[in-house]
Amino acid sequence: MRSVLMMGLPNVGKSAVFNRFTGLDAMVSNYSGTTVSYAEGTFDIEGETVLLRDAPGIYNIKHPNDEAERVAAKMLDDRPDAVLFVLDALNLESSLNLLLQVMEAGIPTVVALNRTDLMRSRGIKIDHVRLQRALGVPVVPTVALSGDSLDLVRYALSRELGKTIEAVDKKDDAARWERVESIKRATLKALPESNGRMDFLIRPFPGIPIALGVLVLLFAFVIGVGMGLRQYLLLPLFEGGQLFGGLIPFTIPGLFPFIERSVEALTDHAGLQGVLIGEYGFLIKGIEWPFALVLPYVITFYTGISILEDVGYLPRVAVLLDGVLKKIGLNGSSIIPMLLGYGCGIPAIMSTRTLQSRKQRIMVATIVSLAIPCVAQMGAFISLLAERSLLAFIGIFLVSIVAIVLAGLVMDRYQKQKTPFTLMEIPPLLAPKPSILSKKVLFRIKHFVRDGAMPMVIAIAAAALLYELGTLEAAGRALSPVVTGWLNLPEEASTPLLMGIVRRELTVLPFIDMADMLSTAQFFTAALVALFYVPCIAMIATLSKEFSIRTAAGILLLTTFTAFLVGGLFAQLHALLSMTL
């Protein structure tokens, strides 16, 4: 099969072009480096099925600086039959420099001059006819997000595929930049000085207060709207009652009462009833936990974070906090994987690929595994703590932040490697497109249902079975010295600890049903243990894939040890204090 390689700078809409052509759901977002792992798909050129590969967005291939540039250079070395170069109309200079480097490979090239809508709205004009003449390859003005003119790109590709190029013009860096400048002068008609109206967002004041405000708003939105969804929509649906607090005067019978009645009608067998609707009955808990307790927060978190991504606000937070994060051995860019970690650890760990050094990657991955609760776990914390003691809930978040700082400081001291310097472009702010945004949020929710909720249902089913068989009880007895003696929790608490290995929130959720037998202090102990406890199985797998089995095992040991240490210390201190008081 013949192949076309897509190349271009980071953040120019390559993924959007790719999605338009292949119909695949690759991610489209507005911060550098979303496509470090490249996407591949097929598309149709005049009846021929052609392989389309999307190289990571990069600035140059002659002197690769990082993983992404090495990957892109390798993909070009594989000699595709044509290159589709996505040229950023907003950033002609760097795009041309990369394009000239790519053209030195002597592969037929088509240029899509992308983001022409933004170019026009900013008063920039590029003479694409002259550009085509100067470059000697077809140049098609496009708007990838709306799919405008992509059929012309396809046509141009059909003409170029299979052509051979005889003369290749190779230049050294200085000469290439000269050529870039001269092409730019000949084709760029107007470049008005930026009015700097949005510059205040990247000045320490008011930029930092605004950034903190935005993050607080994000979490307020995630928690507030999530709780609302659960209270007024999902709980009535599952448990019966009136939707939207009686706004619609119609009482829904509810799914769970129906399931319970049906199971009771179908079987008298106590064991079977137990597995289906008992303590860990998976027809009840297997639906309630993933869909009523966790899903609302998954929806609100990904809505919030996707808006911030698409607006292009996150790199601004990164730059504002860069100096502060350097103090704990991280840099500004690590804020993006860390924020993603509040959604799910897996994309967070994968997005550490955009960080420059291995040291940074391991540090951020460890912090995400150790101290950052994923959205499912956060939903569980909200259900467990916020409704009982808001103070305890805020306490858990403070502990999490202190742990991030401490982990950073310790690892920075331990790893002698220097933190790499910061050098990054801050992409322009964009108004998010509702159609793209909703597609992305839906994609992420689907991902949660498939890769998060389904394993959870299976784990709950397994737990239900083991519970009925008495295996959980036996395991609980084995763990009980630690659980009752050190953590001051009842013996039943060992079950969630065992289940937590599969999914992080499963360490938290079973405690909700133990509400009557636990004090607030015990709740807090359980939450502390859960916060630091083992990352889920999928995260451990991701860690060993991204780094090594040794690193994954190390992180696993570290998190488990920290969980029991911190939880136990709190429990013992609390016991000591309440005895003396």
Partner 1 sequence: MEPRKTRTVIDGTIFKTGSIDSLVRGEVAFIHDVPSLSLLASLGIRLGKRVRLISKSVANGPLILSIDNRSVALDRELASQITIRKQR
Footprint on this chain of partner 1 (rule: CB under 8 A): 59-60, 62-63, 65, 90-91, 93-94, 97-98, 122, 173, 177, 191-194, 196, 199, 202-204, 207-208, 319-324, 326-327, 332, 421-426, 428
Which C-beta is closer to partner 1: that of 33 or that of 290? 33
**Smallest distance from the beta carbon of 14 to partner 1, in angstroms?**
16
Pairing of the two strands 139-141 and 109-114: parallel
Q: Which helix (H) or strand (E) holds 241?
A: strand 241-242
Backbone angles phi, psi at 44, to 5 degrees: -110, 125
**Helix, strand or coil, per DSSP, at residue 396:** helix
**Helix, strand or coil, per DSSP, at residue 267:** coil
Which C-beta is closer to partner 1: that of 324 or that of 469? 324
Q: Return the closest-CA partner of residue 500 out of 551, 451, 463, 550.
A: 463
**Smallest distance from the beta carbon of 324 to partner 1, in angstroms?**
5
Q: Return the closest-CA partner of residue 575 out of 500, 484, 451, 453.
A: 484
Measure the CA–CA gap between 432 and 148, rounded to whole angstroms.
18
Which C-beta is closer to partner 1: that of 207 or that of 290? 207
Backbone angles phi, psi at 363, to 5 degrees: -60, -50
**Smallest distance from the beta carbon of 425 to partner 1, in angstroms?**
5
Which C-beta is closer to partner 1: that of 170 or that of 269? 170
Measure the CA–CA gap between 566 and 562, rounded to whole angstroms.
6
**Smallest distance from the beta carbon of 60 to partner 1, in angstroms?**
5
Which C-beta is closer to partner 1: that of 204 or that of 485? 204
**Smallest distance from the beta carbon of 389 to partner 1, in angstroms?**
35
378 CB burial (10 A radius; 0-12, 13-18, 19+): buried
Backbone angles phi, psi at 246, to 5 degrees: 90, 5
Which C-beta is closer to partner 1: that of 211 or that of 385? 211
Q: Please tell me the number of Cα atoms within 13 Å of 37 on its side-chain side.
A: 9
Which C-beta is closer to partner 1: that of 194 or that of 520? 194
**Smallest distance from the beta carbon of 572 to partner 1, in angstroms?**
37
**Smallest distance from the beta carbon of 117 to partner 1, in angstroms?**
16
Query: What is the distance of C-alpha 123 from the center of its chain?
Result: 34
Backbone angles phi, psi at 32, to 5 degrees: -55, 135
**Smallest distance from the beta carbon of 120 to partner 1, in angstroms?**
15
Which C-beta is closer to partner 1: that of 200 or that of 258? 200
